[in-house]
Amino acid sequence: MEKLTIKNIKNIIGRTLKSGRYINEAGEYSDKTFADEHYYEFGIFKLGDDPVGKQKVVLCRNLGNRYNPNDHNAKNKYELFCMGLQSVTYQYLTKKEIENPDTLIEYIETVMEKTEEFYKHKTK
């Protein structure tokens, strides 16, 4: 299976999300712990009263959900989630949605909204 590649991934650095957060880094790495798993990372940060602080939003380069291979919603899609909160922040995207920078930013925003919602409820 061919892994996802995004040309000019660094072009989204500096983009500001609707929430006021901004993407301060973007790149890819290979995590040897999970054999051939590859990720794109988007460092997200917001100044001010932010209980979340700096977060990593991860886009898996392999299709589907490796933890739940029977998840029919993940079929032929890539998973996007906040590192450490995968089970409550995940989104599934098609390659076409990922290739459009504006759509990708919208999905990253959705993941960050879910992350902030989790932390709001956690502190109550």
Cβ–Cβ < 8 Å for 17, 107 = no
- 94 or 30, greater pLDDT: 94
Mean pLDDT of 30-34: 56
DSSP 55-114: EEEEEEEEES-SS-TT-GGGTT-EEEEETT-HHHH-EEE-HHHHHSHHHHHHHHHHHHHH
The alpha carbon of residue 13 and the mean position of all alpha carbons in its chain are separated, in whole angstroms, by 14
Q: Which residue has the higher pLDDT, 24 or 123?
A: 24
Those residues with Cβ within 8 angstroms of residue 53's Cβ, 6 or more apart along the chain or in another chain? 45, 46
**Mean pLDDT of the 34-56 span:** 62
* Token pair for 124: 């109550």
CA atoms within 13 A on the CB side of 29: 10
CA distance 101 to 74: 21
Between these two residues, 27 and 30, which has the higher pLDDT value?
27
Higher-pLDDT residue of 115 and 20 is: 115
Q: Which of 34-48, 61-75, 94-108 has the lowest mean pLDDT?
A: 34-48
pTM of the model: 0.80
